[in-house]
Structure 1
Amino acid sequence: MDTTLTMLGSLLQQLEPLLTTTAAAQRVHALADRLMRTTLNVAVLGHFKRGKSTLVNALVGYPVLPMGMVPLTAIVTYVEAGPAFSATITFQDGRTAEVPIAQLREYITETENPANAKRVAAAVVQVPTARLPHGIRLVDTPGIGSTYVHNTAIAREFVADADVALFVLSVDPPMSAEERAFLEEVARFARRLLIVLNKIDRYSPADVADVITFTRKVVADRVPACPILPVSALLALEGRIAGDAARIEQSGIQAIEQFLVQEVYQAREALLVSAAVNQLHMLISEAEQQRQATLAGLATSREELTRRLDMFRQRVAELDVLREERDALLRVAQARLVDQHLGSALPTLRAELLALANQLPALIMEGSERSLRAQVRAGGHWIVETLRSTTVAWMQREEPALLDVLGAITERYRAALQRALDALQALAQDVLAVPALQVQVPEPVPVTAHARLQVVDEPVMLELLSMWLMSHLPGRIGRWLILWRAQRRLEDYADRMVGSARYALRQWIAEQLEERRAVLESAVSAVLEALT
């Protein structure tokens, strides 16, 4: 078998210069290298925050990869057995650098290397562990489906290099339509496929069993023979670190380790041959498609090609006009509907604030001139802070309703863009023989920030007013005027607070609208760039 692998590796190396695309050449080069070294890529793939990095850490027995609550992994990271802990960073320009394991997150995470600003191509981590068989290399990949579109692209690009795939799901939420489509894509390349149902420690055995049954039904017509293994990667990692055999057994990780030994390691040479044959079939298919496209292009007259291109450019121009029109309508509709909602909701806030302002006289009792000033200052501070906190609480109660209004508007906008993109892609496929991209306009990103209230404080003005009146008017008249003027000031302040709340919520909704619009526009621009 070693001779066969060497021959296949040599054959692929000879094919590499003949390939017409960089991506195909890179795939063949990587596969030839794996054949020569008898090394399998076991890719850990799936949606973001399903626990992929935690699973890799559990399988090697050490927390070498960063883990967290937000999407972290942004770079393809290889983890393999080695003589000592080490991390090697390969940059896109071909440079390499050895870094301590503790600094790995500076290169492979979205938080510390946003949008891959450091131009990292890949990372290789070696761990002194006997749990990972020789010739098996775990590959941690960025999750698909997050707001970081480039992470999804990196994960999809790596699929072709996956000899074996551990497709990670979690109990809640269950498998989505996007994940099922991604699983189909992975199944085209991986010679072995295992679905890992993670985070079972958070749910009852009955709930886990229900999700396994649901997942089997969802994938039955796509990958019917694919096994599903439940696991708690976090429990397994904690058990490995603590040397707790009970936790390790409870986690279910041993079933995955058994899969890696029996289904992967013991069959690695056959799997590599199968992967090589599969790659050759795909290269032949791609070459045939390219040949057919070339022949079709030669058979098409210059006039017909010009006519088709003109038709396509016209549709692209129409899409641009649609985007501009929809963009303008989106902003107008947002302003109108938000004003309608606030127009009916703000009177309630004003009445609540005025009722608070009217409490000032009750807070200020009879007393000396100094005592009155102190009472005005203290009462004014208390009421102003109460007005502010009441307004902020009211704004946060109104935010979900405003987001519902915005969601209805942006969904119509998203649906219109989706229809236009579908029509354009269908035209490109029909007129220009471009393969369908099947791009979905993404859903809006979740909102995490609240509206910010900004308003000038009043207590100092109340205190200055009281001091002036007490020094120029008799005590009773001065006291009465202080209370009267202070209450009027607070009523004016309450009105300004209402105006500030209106402005803050309108600005906040405008920011949310712009964020959503930018996400949608980015998707449209990506399709246009791919098609043109």
Structure 2
Amino acid sequence: MLDNYTKSKQEIVSVLDEIFHMLLGLKFNNDALNAFKDKIDRVRLDRFNLVVVGQYKRGKTTFINALLGADILPTAIVPLTSIVTIMEYGEQVEATVEFLDKAPQKIEIAALPQYITETENPNNFKNVKLVTITYPSPYLQGGLRLIDTPGIGSVFQHNTDVTYSFLQEVDAAIFLLSADPPISRDECQFLKDITKYVRKIFFIQNKIDLVNEKDREQSMNFSQKIIKQEVKLDEIAIFPLSAKMALEGAITDNASLIGKSKIGDFLHMLEQFLINERKQTLIKSAVLMGKQLLSEATLKIDLEMASLDMPINEIEQKLVRLREHAQGLSQDKQDVAYLLKGELDRFNTRMEQAINKFKAETIEQLKKKVRERFLKNTSRLEEQAINSFLAGAINEQFEIWQKNNEREIQDWLLTLKQRFEAKNRQLIDDMKRLASNLFHVDFTPSSLCVDLDQKSNLYFLTEIPKPMFNSLGGFHKWLPVAWSKQIIIKRKLDELEELVDMNCGRIRHDLFTRTAKTIEEFRRRLEDSLDRMTADIIITIETVVRNKQQGEQQIRKRKSELENIRSRLTALNTALDLF
């Protein structure tokens, strides 16, 4: 399935591995080498998490089996709980259950229903965290993981730290619809929830074998219209297919049946997406790091070669200039740290104002909703009814605020990142320029970006809890309806203010803590990249001074070695240009 990508990835890894070992032989900075090795390993072992979602009876399980080309997941596994099920590559067909409270356990495929169905594991009383199934499918061999989260709506509600962290690792989603019936209101809400966590969503119109072409077109056009209106997604491509026919065709090796299923169009698009997406992210990042390190290594080689032709006293004079410049960088680093802190303080002040405004508006809006909904009703007010209403309303308000402010925060981080990266690159290039001028060699300006830690991306709450309202007891049931209602509403409105304030406090703490951690990590990475370049240049020249004392024969031998190394570095840089 992804043969082209797999071959391309192997070629890239081969080139990157050779670069790493050459840099290792050049005694490159350990921190830089470790970071580069980590990047290579991520390319080598990369995983693309593709989550498959859809309501019951949309044919989701059959579709997953069709993608794998085998009847792995029993279609009788319904209804499913909110247990994450991961299909990934393995030489043997195996299933492993991970628990929240004990060690993982291998099970037979046939035993899956005991752990992931509501019938045999009601309310997940067995404390299952997730289930991983391995299967020797070429489709999975390229690093793709198919992830079944049938109860993803309920996952959002429970939203444990483990599940929340997992959702951030999802790269794309396949949302299953069916030709009959088309998308429902519940599915629209379900889709809205998913868009908070997943950037790319593919749409499948399954079960086209059950309707004629005219009905299929009408159903697909209706679904597209509703998704655009309700979910506010602009780019919507729905792929009509029959997972049942595709699976039957794969099992019986019937090319004609596979063709009639129309799954080929979707798989071709998915393959292109996976290739392009990875090139734009992980592979592109690894290639960029490789080219930057090659540039730094080439500068070191050129500096050493030029130094070997100079008298020692001249080299030592130039070395003094380099050390003086390096000492002056300490003040520059302090300035960057001071400016970053100022930006963070201004951000915190702005967000504090936004949170306070949101709190006041939310309390006022929710109080108004409560009065409008319950005071006009002449029937007796049940405490549970208002508890349920307020719990849902509070969660809804906080989710809306989260969605509206997340983009602003990410834009602020990106702007800050670009600004200070540019300043850091300028400082690095100043050091390179001084060295190149002193020793009359060329240098390439820096282009490497410093990544923000993905695990520190800002999310206001890892959990927006369902408010636990205090019970009033049963005495109010014996009061007249009007009195009882007044007592309940007054008490709940008082609790409402406290609960909104509590959640705003959690937003404030979570947001400020995460931004501070992200900015501090970013500052450290900026400093590390500057310190590494400065140290590499100075150590290179210091090494030349020592080597010059070993005699002309050793100098000629070293020059020959350096010429060979530089030639190979140039060839590797050219190879990276192909990717």
**TM-score scaled to structure 1, two decimals?**
0.48
Query: Which one has more relative contact order, counting CA pairs under 8 Å at least 6 apart?
Result: 2
- Compare CA radii of gyration and give the structure with the larger one: 1
